[in-house]
């Protein structure tokens, strides 16, 4: 209904427009991650960005879509950071460690923003009303999982990781990264970021490839 000129529909923005849009995204990121999605009003975002209440809708069709765009953007950056950190020449296990460490560092550096992704955990919060933001979130997780699964499989073929469902290993790797990042964000940890990254890297390595001492 109203398929024609709906707002924010593939608009072309001027340079100034792009800037504005970014301002809004930034403001939204800060607010969403500090007060949560539900407790952040569109009006808050506008106020924070110093613009009038209606302007968000020039750039984003809905609050949810604004959120989704934020998530996509974060994810893109994270993947770039991971890619940059992984030595293409290295063995898969090492690559996993590098990706892991890079993720921890990246998330630490973008603490504020990354709190957003905690929502990945409670997808349903948003999917409740049949929105397709849930899709964005689900897709996103899948991408990482696929990546890690591939690496684990490679590592297994090279005998670096014991047999077993690669899917399981992947869940372990991804989950642990996000757990530590979360703890860091929450202030429950009081460590240097690099130290933490190293620790998580080690943790994952041991969990994937370690020999357990006699039980």
Site residues, DNA (CB under 7 A)? 2, 6-7, 11-14, 16-17, 20, 39-43, 51-58, 61-64
According to the binding rule CB under 8 A, does residue 203 interact with a second copy?
yes
d(CA 170, CA 213): 23
Residue 118 CB, shortest distance to a second copy, in Å, is 5
According to the binding rule CB under 8 A, does residue 171 interact with a second copy?
yes
d(CA 212, CA 150): 24
Nearest to 96 by CA among 87, 105, 109, 108: 87
As given in the structure block, the two tokens for residue 148 are 């890690």
Q: Which one of 122, 146, 157, 158 is in contact with a second copy (CB under 8 A)? A: 122
> Please, which residue, 34 or 167, has the CB nearer to DNA?
34
Dihedral sign for Cα atoms in the order 83, 89, 93, 97: negative
Which of a second copy, DNA, none sits in contact with 121, Cβ below 5 to 8 A by type? a second copy
Residue 56 CB neighbours (<10 A): 24
Question: What is the distance of C-alpha 30 from the center of its chain?
Answer: 15
> Please, which residue, 6 or 210, has the CB nearer to DNA?
6
Residue 200 CB, shortest distance to a second copy, in Å, is 8
Torsion of CA 53, 54, 56, 57, to 10 degrees: 160
Residue 184 CB, shortest distance to a second copy, in Å, is 9
- Report helix angle 15-35 to 42-49, nearest 10: 120
Which of DNA, a second copy, none sits in contact with 193, Cβ below 5 to 8 A by type? none
Provide the binding-site residues for a second copy, judged by CB under 8 A. 1-2, 4-5, 33-39, 41, 43-44, 47, 94, 115, 118-119, 121-122, 124-126, 128-130, 145, 160, 164-165, 167-168, 171-172, 174-176, 178-180, 182-183, 188-191, 196, 199-200, 202-213, 215
């Amino acid at each position: 209904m109203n398929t024609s000129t709906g707002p924010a529909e593939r608009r072309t923005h001027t340079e100034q427009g792009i800037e504005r849009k970014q301002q809004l995204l930034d403001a939204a990121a800060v607010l969403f991650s500090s007060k949560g999605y539900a407790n952040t009003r569109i009006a808050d975002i506008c106020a924070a960005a110093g613009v009038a209440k209606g302007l968000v809708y020039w750039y984003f069709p809905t609050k949810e879509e604004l959120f989704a765009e934020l998530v996509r953007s974060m994810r893109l950056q994270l993947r770039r950071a991971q890619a940059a950190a992984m030595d293409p020449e290295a063995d898969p296990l090492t690559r996993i460690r590098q990706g892991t460490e890079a993720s921890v560092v990246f998330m630490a550096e973008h603490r504020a923003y990354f709190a957003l992704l905690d929502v990945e955990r409670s997808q349903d919060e948003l999917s409740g009303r049949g929105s397709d933001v849930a899709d964005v979130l689900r897709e996103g997780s899948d991408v990482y999982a696929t990546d890690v699964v591939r690496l684990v499989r490679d590592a297994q073929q090279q005998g670096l990781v014991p047999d077993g469902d690669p899917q399981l290993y992947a869940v372990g790797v991804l989950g642990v990264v996000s757990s530590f990042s979360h703890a860091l964000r929450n202030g429950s940890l009081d460590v240097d970021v690099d130290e933490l990254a190293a620790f998580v890297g080690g943790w994952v390595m041991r969990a994937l490839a370690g020999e357990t001492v006699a039980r």
